[in-house]
Amino acid sequence: MQRDVDAAMATAIVAAAYGGPEVLTPIEVEVPGPGPGEVTVQVRAAGVNPIDYKLYSGAFGADPAKLPIRLGLESSGVVTAVGPDAVGPGGPIQVGDEVIARGGGYATAVTVPAAGVLPKPAEVSWEVAAGLLAVGNTAVHLVVATGIGPGDTVLIHGAAGSVGSLAAQLAVARGARVIGTAAPARHERLRSYGVEPVEYGPGLADRVRALAPNGVDAAIDTVGTDEAVDVSLELVADRHRIATIAAFGRVPTTGIQGLGGGPGADPGTEIRGNAWRELLPLIASGKLELVITATYPLADAAAAHEFVIGGHAGGKVILLP
């Protein structure tokens, strides 16, 4: 059904300047009524991702014409209005649907293309729904691109992080043996996923060899350190079965795969676009866990970014309008 297309008002977090988290500020914005192929969503939770702060840090340039910058890649919420032909990947969308939405999530309400709106499983919390897809799509891409399957031994660098832990769980579900690097404090959680934890740092290659004397078939790097790349190159014979989402500078000289948004990387558009078909049933059934490390009120987005920038979140950070 079509609803009134008059604009409503919402609170949104924007970067009013380039700099650190201190530039984030709440403003009142218009939420236009949905046009053809669009829906309006009342946001219940929004995921925080590293690219969010890179957008206003100056890492991608500092064009003043782009200010203020709206933030947010992913959110969850309730559909409050639909435009004509509002059909998402999961089918037609109706008012009252609980959904996961891509784009513009740092707000109390957003109008977004229906093409980026997915049905939220009832068993999945607002927080998990808002934090799953960006990291989950990346994890699926990593596992698919490295061809992980039954009988493989896989080394995952950063296995306790948001992307790494999902990749580890997906690899285990595919029948692989997974060795994952992490700080000792997170080893027990990795064991609960069926992952064999190992501490990163000097001597990593030897520790992995001790666990896997018959060799390692594939490696996934989610951290981007030289150690992660060098140890992977040392242990994995087939360089095409080594993939990184961070060490893009090492890709041209080593022959490993760079995945994602880095220079020369494979964006994996089709794989990532369809990853929800695997992720949502797994998360709904409890066979996949996304760790939510912290939640912050929407108004405290700057504090949430300070926490994420520190680099040791160990899971997803979520904003709650």
* Residue linked to tokens 């000289």: 253
Q: Is the pLDDT of residue 4 over 50?
A: no
The C-alpha atoms of residue 172 and residue 190 are separated, in whole angstroms, by 11
Residue 220 identity (one-letter amino acid): I
Written as six digits, the tokens of 113 are 């293309």
CA nearest neighbour of 228 among 164, 155, 169: 155
Token pair for 84 = 């004509």
pLDDT band at 310 (very low <50, low <70, confident <90, very high): confident
Residue 252 has pLDDT above 80, yes or no: yes
Which region holds residue 64: left if phi is over 0, alpha if psi is between -120 and 50, else beta?
A: alpha
**Weakest-pLDDT range from 100-104, 227-231, 254-258, 317-321:** 100-104
- Start-to-end Cα distance in the chain: 26
| pLDDT for the residue 103 | 85
- What integer pLDDT is reported at residue 204 of this predicted model? 98
Tokens of 157: 């660098």
Q: Evaluate if residue 2 carries a pLDDT over 50.
A: no
What confidence score (pLDDT) does residue 6 get? 60
Does position 1 have pLDDT exceeding 60, yes or no? no
Computed from CA positions of residues 12, 16, 18, 20, in that sequence, does the dihedral angle turn out positive or negative? negative
**Can you tell me which residue has the tokens 């080394």?**
155
What whole-number distance in Å separates Cα of residue 304 and Cα of residue 107? 15
Find where tokens 């520790």 sit.
207
**3-state SS class at 128:** helix
Q: Which two tokens stand for residue 162?
A: 């948001």
Nearest residue to 306 (alpha-carbon basis) of 114, 17, 35, 53: 53
Residue 26: partners with Cβ closer than 8 Å, 6 or more residues away: 11, 12, 13, 14, 298, 299
Distance CA 283, CA 128 (A): 9
Q: What is the pLDDT of residues 24-72, one digit of tens each?
A: 999 999 999 999 999 999 999 999 998 999 999 999 999 999 999 999 9
Given a cut of 80, is residue 313 above it in pLDDT? no
Residue type, 123: E
In angstroms, the CA 246 to CA 264 distance is 12
pLDDT of 66-117, one tens digit each? 999 999 999 999 999 999 999 999 999 999 999 999 988 999 999 999 999 9
pLDDT band at residue 315 using 50, 70 and 90 as cut-offs: confident
Among candidate residues 45, 39, 17, the one with its CA nearest the CA of residue 106: 45
Judge whether residue 311 has pLDDT over 90. Answer: no
Structure tokens at 114: 């229906």
Alpha helices in the chain (DSSP H): 50-57, 126-145, 162-173, 187-192, 204-211, 226-235, 251-254, 269-274, 276-285, 301-309
Note the pLDDT of residue 52. 95
Q: Which residue has the higher pLDDT, 314 or 108?
A: 108
pLDDT of residue 184: 97
Strand partners, 39: 82, 112
Per-residue pLDDT reduced to its tens digit, 278-305 = 999 999 999 999 999 999 999 999 999 9
Q: pLDDT by residue (tens digit) across 104-156?
A: 899 999 999 999 999 999 999 999 999 999 999 999 999 999 999 999 999 99
Q: Which residues contact 68 (CB under 8 A, 6 or more apart)?
A: 14, 15, 16, 27
| Cα separation, 266 vs 284, whole angstroms | 29
